[in-house]
């Protein structure tokens, strides 16, 4: 199997676009990613599309109606919050298979109103499917409290995650928000489900992101290696019953399994990673994932946020994009938006938020139900 490279990648500025259709929103990112590498839809050999809210709606084909119908295969995937990562991974697999030399991967979501979003709302989804055993906020609150009980993690430590990510997004023009949120503001915001206040919940926004994956041969042939990013590992897991823990098995054991496999596939360890975009759907979740991804040992996550190790300029910056908490979380788009963020830093194009000298980065998403997607990317 030859290597596969991200040669073009972009995302729209996340926001609210109630007056546009899902395909129109997805088409915009697709065209931006094509522009990013100077290619057109006619160069693409397949389209992998991730969307949750209209999962049965042939969104990929409808995007082609917006940007050019060339007859290429379209694969529409959904995997809760891992939807975008799954679309990217299926495109990567096809290039690795030698089926195609150039594929387009698009993730897009137009969210409904309210905390949980409208994805899957009317499509017979089970509570287990998207909501877990309760509502999203209560499930992730419980998981945070379990961490507090075991390791003494404090409300302030959870809140600092939000302070950090909101600060990061002041440097990211594509994030939904560019507003500093001091600790007291985060802690005094409306309590959604203790210990997560409203500013510690991911932002419900519309958005899209797209990536173009090329075989090494094609990337070289097109002269695209200079800004190319190598996919060192692409891993997807589901809930492993054998490793079940009582709180958040989907999130914790599923992520730990994926991280283990990703490091194996890449032949790397956590120490080799220069930046991470992880699934901070709630502030409590980010704390859990420092440990799940092996960025620190069990019970050390509170220290990670206190010392600033995970902030821009720290040992291992996490969510320098602003993360789901401030950049926003359009479910089907998030997995590819993460790829965009990490690729941008590996290319040295991160502007004010650039992680200096970044050579290797990791993306992580997790969908309840369950699906965890991890990618490790490296500067080509």
The stretch among 125-133, 181-189, 281-289, 314-322 that binds a copy of itself (CB under 8 A) is 125-133
Return the number of the residue (21 or 138) whose C-beta is nearest a copy of itself. Answer: 21
- Supply the DSSP string of 184-228, one letter for each residue: HHHHHSPEEETTEEGGGB----BEEEEEEEEEHHHHHHTT-GGG-
The stretch among 149-157, 231-239, 285-293, 316-324 that binds a copy of itself (CB under 8 A) is 231-239
Question: Is residue 238 part of the contact set for a copy of itself (CB under 8 A)?
Answer: yes
Question: Is residue 183 part of the contact set for a copy of itself (CB under 8 A)?
Answer: no
In order of 103, 159, 164, the CA distances from 307 in angstroms are 41, 14, 12
Return the number of the residue (94 or 283) whose C-beta is nearest a copy of itself. Answer: 94
User: Residues 35 to 54: which contact a copy of itself by CB under 8 A?
Assistant: 46-47, 52-54
Return the number of the residue (68 or 314) whose C-beta is nearest a copy of itself. Answer: 68
Contact flags string 77-116 toward a copy of itself, x per CB under 8 A:
xxxx-----x--xx--xx-xxxx-----------------
Residue 216 C-beta: closest distance to a copy of itself, Å: 15
Question: Please, which residues have CB within 8 angstroms of residue 317's CB and are 6 or more apart in sequence?
Answer: 274, 275, 276, 310, 311, 355
The stretch among 152-160, 211-219, 238-246, 353-361 that binds a copy of itself (CB under 8 A) is 238-246
Count of chain residues binding a copy of itself (CB under 8 A): 65
Tokens of 340: 């965009």
Residue 358 C-beta: closest distance to a copy of itself, Å: 27
Tokens of 279: 């699934």
Catalytic residue among 166, 168, 289, 329: 329
User: Using CB under 8 A, which of 10, 146, 206, 239 touches a copy of itself?
Assistant: 239
- Sheet bearing 207-215, strands edge to edge: 47-50, 102-109, 207-215, 4-11, 229-237, 371-379, 360-367, 275-277
Spatial CA neighbour of 319 closest among 210, 178, 169, 201: 169
Cβ atoms of 51 and 108 closer than 8 Å: yes
The helix/strand/coil state of 250 is helix
User: Using CB under 8 A, which of 180, 184, 243, 356 touches a copy of itself?
Assistant: 243
Residue 198 C-beta: closest distance to a copy of itself, Å: 26
Taking the C-alpha atoms of residue 106 and residue 47, their distance in angstroms, rounded to an integer, is 8
Residue 329 appears among annotated catalytic residues: yes
Supply angle C-alpha 205, 322, 12, rounded to 5.
50
Residue 78 C-beta: closest distance to a copy of itself, Å: 5
The stretch among 64-72, 147-155, 205-213, 333-341 that binds a copy of itself (CB under 8 A) is 64-72
Residue 365 C-beta: closest distance to a copy of itself, Å: 13
Residue 244 C-beta: closest distance to a copy of itself, Å: 8
Tokens of 129: 């499917």
CA within 13 Å, CB half, 340? 30
Taking the C-alpha atoms of residue 57 and residue 22, their distance in angstroms, rounded to an integer, is 10
User: Residues 251 to 290: which contact a copy of itself by CB under 8 A?
Assistant: 253-254, 257
Catalytic residue among 37, 81, 105, 201: 81
Question: Please, which residues have CB within 8 angstroms of residue 273's CB and are 6 or more apart in sequence?
Answer: 295, 316, 360, 361, 362, 376
Question: Is residue 120 part of the contact set for a copy of itself (CB under 8 A)?
Answer: yes
Residue 279 appears among annotated catalytic residues: no
Spatial CA neighbour of 175 closest among 2, 346, 1, 325: 325
Return the number of the residue (83 or 319) whose C-beta is nearest a copy of itself. Answer: 83
Spatial CA neighbour of 26 closest among 64, 73, 56: 64
- Taking every pair of Cα atoms in the chain, the longest distance, rounded to a whole number of angstroms, is 57
User: Using CB under 8 A, which of 123, 154, 170, 354 touches a copy of itself?
Assistant: 123
Question: Which residues are part of the catalytic machinery?
Answer: 81, 329
Which positions touch a copy of itself (CB under 8 A)? 1, 22, 46-47, 52-58, 60-62, 64-65, 68-80, 86, 89-90, 93-94, 96-99, 119-126, 128-130, 235-243, 253-254, 257, 367, 369-371
């Amino acid at each position: 199997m030859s290597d596969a490279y991200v040669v073009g990648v972009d995302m729209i500025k996340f926001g609210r676009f109630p007056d546009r259709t899902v395909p129109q929103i997805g088409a915009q990112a697709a065209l931006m990613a094509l522009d990013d590498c100077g290619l057109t839809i006619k160069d693409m050999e397949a389209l992998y599309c991730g969307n949750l809210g209209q999962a049965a709606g042939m969104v990929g084909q409808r995007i082609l109606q917006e940007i050019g119908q060339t007859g290429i295969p379209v694969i529409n995937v959904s995997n809760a919050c891992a939807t975008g990562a799954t679309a990217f991974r299926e495109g990567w697999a096809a290039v690795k298979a030698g089926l195609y030399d150039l594929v387009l991967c698009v993730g897009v979501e137009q969210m409904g109103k309210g905390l949980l979003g409208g994805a899957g709302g009317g499509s017979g989804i089970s509570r287990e499917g998207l909501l877990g055993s309760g509502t999203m906020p209560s499930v992730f609150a419980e998981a945070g409290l379990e961490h507090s009980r075991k390791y003494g993690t404090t409300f302030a430590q959870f809140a600092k995650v939000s302070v950090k990510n909101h600060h990061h997004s002041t440097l990211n023009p594509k994030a939904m928000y560019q507003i500093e949120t001091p600790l007291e503001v985060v802690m005094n915001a409306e309590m959604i489900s203790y210990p997560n206040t409203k500013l510690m919940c991911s932002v419900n926004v519309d958005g899209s992101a797209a990536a173009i994956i090329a075989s090494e041969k094609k990337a070289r042939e097109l002269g695209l290696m200079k800004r190319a990013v190598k996919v060192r590992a692409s891993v997807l897991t589901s809930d492993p019953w054998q490793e079940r823990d009582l709180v958040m098995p989907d999130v914790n054991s599923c992520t730990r399994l994926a991280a283990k496999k990703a490091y194996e596939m890449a032949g790397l360890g956590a120490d080799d990673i220069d930046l991470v975009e992880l699934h901070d759907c709630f502030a409590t979740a980010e704390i859990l994932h420092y440990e799940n991804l092996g960025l620190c040992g069990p019970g050390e996550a509170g220290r990670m946020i206190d010392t600033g190790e995970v902030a821009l300029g720290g040992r291992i910056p996490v969510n320098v994009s602003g993360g789901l908490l401030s950049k926003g979380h359009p479910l089907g788009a998030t997995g590819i938006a993460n790829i965009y963020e990490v690729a941008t830093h590996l290319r040295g194009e991160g502007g004010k938020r650039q992680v200096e000298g970044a050579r290797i980065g990791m993306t992580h998403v997790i969908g309840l139900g369950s699906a965890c997607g991890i990618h490790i990317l490296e500067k080509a």
